[in-house]
Every structure is written in structure tokens, then in C-alpha cells.
Amino acid sequence: MNLAINRVNEFQTGTLAIVFASVLWGTTGTAASFAPDLSPLAIGAFSMGVGGLMQAGLAYRKILSSLDKLLLNKKLLAASALALAIYPLAFYSSMKLSGVAMGTVVSIATAPFFSALLECLISKNNNINKRWLTSFAIGVVGIGLLVFSESSVGSEPNDGLKLLGIGLGLVAGLCYAIYSWATKALIDEGIKSQAAMGSIFGLGAMLLLPTLWFTGDNLFASSTNIFVVSYLVLLPQCLGYIAFSFGLRHVTASSANLITLLEPVVAAVLAVWIVGERIPLVGWIGMLLIVMCLSIQSQPNNQRN
């Protein structure tokens, strides 16, 4: 009985950690809007790259103590680091080409689906039950309503560029799923979450930071730009991913990625509250459905899945 209670408490703690990370990630679009002269590619590469180096530095003792296990799982480590490096480039490019709302939603909403496929096909860990499918369906409908409402009040990009942006959003969703799945697999192999995250982000940073040679104009051109990139590095990227890695210790990757559907809701609310954008009633209904999805997914599994 006590073991069951402990598992429920751990699941709920892990869920809260991922919710906290999602809230931090939802602030990135609003924060970036205060530095319109910065390339979205530069913002992604700098925040993820520098944040990654910081995580690697904070976890270097645990990385060294887990080095043998990390080397035994070098393929997982390499796949996760590569996916992490591609993700921000695809994500921010998707937002630029297809619009902020569409790019964000496609990238985030497809990640749970890709994570579930990876868990079923590679991990042979079938966590897809009626509750997961129900919450996934509700979340997808909610995301769709949110996208429709935002696109209906904004200007539409060129159709060809929009399709390319959606394609890049799918790439971002797949990369995020690979990163989440591989990180969870490393943790399940007995590697401490900080060691797994620190090594993945350190390697990813080494791949990302050189791209600033081509995209990093104006990064430090003003105090506002410096403040924006500093905020993105310290809170959404560094603290957010630390919280996410902690949550992955107690929650499956597919469930964690469903919970991160909270991110576009937070982004939309901040866009209305701070940036001054307008979201029609349909969008608010979509956000309500996403909250319902999170409520269903936040309940721990029972034995009758």
C-alpha cells in the first residue's frame, strides 16, 4: 500500500515538474518579441547552446561518475544530442515560415505521437491505453482550435512557405520526441538524470553554437537583446530542462510530451496579456480542451490499463 502511494506521489511530483517546465517554455515567444532585430535561428542556437553548456557544467561531476554507462549507451547519447541540436533550428524556422502559432503548435502537438511510436516500436513499452488515446484526441482538437483561431485573426504567409514551415514543424516534433525518448532510455539504464541531461546538452551545444557564426548578428547590440537572451538561457532553457529531466524520472516520454501541450496555452495567454494579440472564443475553447487533456493525463496509471 505504501509503495503504491509513493508511486502516485512520485508521478504527481514528476507531472508538476513538467508542468513547471512547460510554463517556462511558454514564455519564450513573448520574451523574444522584445528583441525583434534578432534572428530566430540565433535565439534558438544561443539559448539552447549556452544553456546546454551551463547544464553540462553544473552536472560535470555526475557526468564523470556516469561516464562508463554513458559510453556503453553512446548511440542513444549521440541520437539525443543530434536531435536536440536540430530541434531549435527546425522549430524557430517553422515559426518564421508558417507563423508563430502554427509552427509552435505543429512542433509541440506532434511530439507525443512520435514519442508513443518510439516507445512502441523501439522500447517495446506499450503505454498507449484508452486514457492516453482519449487525452491525446482531446489535446489535438484543442490545439487545432487554437491554431484556427489565431490564424483567422492574423496574416497568412505564402502557401509554399507555410507548407515548408509545417514540414519543419514535423521535423521539430520528431526531434523533440527522439530527445525525450532517448533521455528517458538513458535514465532507465541507471544514469542519473542530471548526468544524462548534462551530457546530451553539452554535446548538443557543441553542434549548435558554431551556427551563430552565420546567424548571430545583433545578439549583443543592445541591453534589451542581452536581457532577452540571458532570460532565455537561464530560465526556459536551463531551469526548464532541469525540471523536465526530473519529471522524466517518474513519467513516460509520451505522457511528458502530452503534458507539454500546456506550452502553447501559456504562450497564447501571454500574447494576449502582454503583447496585445487577440484570440477569439474558438481559441479559448481550444485552450479549455488542452487543460482537459492535461487533467486526464496527470492522473497516475492503475493496473487496469
pLDDT tier, 152 (very low <50, low <70, confident <90, very high otherwise): low
Q: Note the pTM of the prediction, 2 decimals.
A: 0.78
* Model pLDDT, residue 262: 84
- Read off φ and ψ for residue 118, nearest 5 degrees: -65, -40
Q: Report the half-sphere exposure of 173 (CA within 13 A, side-chain side).
A: 29
Q: Which residue has the higher pLDDT, 78 or 272?
A: 78
Q: What DSSP state is assigned to residue 239?
A: I
Could you identify the residue written with the cell 551551463? 54
CB 176 within 8 A of CB 107: yes
* Model pLDDT, residue 159: 61
**Residue-wise pLDDT tens digits, 107-146:** 877 787 787 778 777 766 666 677 777 877 887 888 778 7
Across 42-56, 141-155, 157-171, 266-280, the highest mean pLDDT is recorded for 42-56
Q: Tell me the mean pLDDT in the region 166-190.
A: 88
pLDDT of 218 over the 80 cut: yes
Q: Tell me the mean pLDDT in the region 28-35.
A: 83
* Model pLDDT, residue 226: 94
* Cβ count near 290 (within 10 Å): 27
Q: What percentage of the chain reaches a pLDDT higher than 70?
A: 86
Q: Which helix (H) or strand (E) holds 291?
A: helix 281-297
* Model pLDDT, residue 215: 87
Q: Tell me the mean pLDDT in the region 244-258.
A: 80
Across 15-29, 151-165, 242-256, the highest mean pLDDT is recorded for 15-29
